[in-house]
Structure 1
Amino acid sequence: MAEQRGEQLSDQRRPHVELRFLPSDGSEARPGTTGGGPAGEQPVAGRWAEATPARGSRLVGRKTIARLRGGSPAVGGEPVRRPPSSDAGRVVLVYEQVRRPWRLLMFTAMLVSLTVGVVLGQTEAYRAGKSRPVAAAPSVAAPSVVSPVPLTAPLGAPGQRRLEITGAVTTLRIRTAPLGESSYSITGFDPGIPPRVAEAGGGSVLTLSPEAVVTPGAEVVLNSAASWTVKLTGGATDLDVDARAGGLATIESVSAVSRGVLQLAKPKGSAPLTITGPVGDLTVRTEVGALVRIRVAKGAALATIGGTTRRDVANGATLRETGWRTAPAKYDIRIAARVNTILVERLRPDGSSAAVPAPSGSAVR
Structure 2
Amino acid sequence: MAVDTSAPPEGPVAAPDCRPIYIGLVILVALLLIALLVAAVSLTVRHGNGPEHTVSAPLAGRDDARLDLTSGVGLVTVRVRDLGDRLYRIGTPAGSGTVPRVTDQDGSVLVGLGASDDGSGGGPASVEILLSSRATWRFRLAGGADEARLDLRGGPVSGVDIASGVSSVELWLPRPRGTVTVREGGGASEFTVHAPAAVPVQVRVAGGAGQATIDGTVHAGVSGNTVYPAAGWDQARDRYELDAVGGLSQLSLDRS
TM range (shorter): 0.7 to 0.9
8 Å CA contact 1:271–1:331 kept in 2: the answer is yes
| Partner Cα separation in structure 2 for residue 255 and residue 209 of structure 1 | 19
Match of 2:108? 203
**Alignment equivalent of 1:224, drawn from 133, 143, 158:** 133
Moved more, 160-169 or 139-148: 139-148
Name the structure 2 match of 1:318: 227
Gapped regions of structure 1 (runs ≥ 5) = 1-137, 348-365
Indicate the residue corresponding to 1:234 in structure 2: 143
Give the 5 Å matches for 1:20-59: none
In the superposition, relative to structure 1, how do residues 331 and 214 fare at CA in structure 2: closer, same or farther (>3 Å)? farther
User: Contact 1:256–1:278 (CA<8 Å) still a contact in 2?
Assistant: yes
Aligned partner of residue 125 in structure 2, secondary structure: strand
The answer to whether the 8 A contact 1:176-1:248 is kept is: no
CA contact (8 A) 2:98 2:125 kept: no
Higher share in strand: 2
Q: 1:162 aligns with which of 56, 66, 72?
A: 66
1:192-246 CA-partner distances (Å, limit 9, x unpaired): 21111012233221102469x9942100000011011112111101011001111
Aligned 1:238-317 pairs, distance under 5 A: 238-317=147-226
Instruction: Assess if the C-alpha contact under 8 Å between 2:66 and 2:108 holds in 1.
Output: yes
How far does the alpha carbon of each residue in 1:149-200 deviate from its partner, in whole angstroms, 9 at most, with x for none? 4210001013221111111111001110010100100011254211110122
Partners of 1:215 and 1:165 lie apart in 2 by 16
Cα distance in 2 for partners of 1:343, 1:186 equals 29
Match among 246, 249, 255 for residue 340 of structure 1: 249
- AA in 2 matched with 1:254: A
SS of residue paired to 1:293: strand
Please give the alpha-carbon distance, in whole angstroms, between the structure 1 residues aligned to 2:166 and 2:249. 11
The 1:291/1:147 distance shift into structure 2, 3 A limit, reads: farther
Q: What SS is found at the alignment partner of 1:337?
A: coil
Change (3 A) 1:214 1:318: farther
Q: Distance in 2 between matches of 1:289 and 1:246?
A: 18
Match of 1:185 among 89, 96, 112: 89
Residue ranges of structure 2 left out of the alignment (5+ in a row): 1-35, 117-121
| CA distance 1:249–1:270, change in 2 (3 Å) | same
CA contact 1:250–1:272 (8 Å) conserved in 2: yes
Q: How far apart are the structure 2 equivalents of 1:251 and 1:301?
A: 23
SS state at 2:134 partner: coil
Does the 8 Å contact 1:177/1:221 carry over to 2?
yes
TM-score normalised by the chain length of structure 2 = 0.75
Q: Distance in 2 between matches of 1:296 and 1:220?
A: 28
| 1:315-364 Cα shifts (integer Å, max 9, x gaps) | 111113322222333210112111111111111xxxxxxxxxxxxxxxxx
CA gap of 1:328–1:166, structure 2 versus 1, over 3 A, is: same
2:106 alignment partner AA = G
> Greater relative contact order (Cα 8 A, min sep 6): structure 1 or 2?
2
Greater Rg over alpha carbons, structure: 1
CA distance in 2, matches of 1:264, 1:289: 13
Q: Residue 146 of structure 1: CA displacement?
A: 2.6
Query: Any conservation in 2 of the 1:266–1:289 contact (CA below 8 Å)?
Result: no
Q: 5 Å matches for 1:123-134?
A: none
Separation of aligned partners in 2, 1:289 and 1:268: 14
Distance 1:340 1:198 in 2: 35
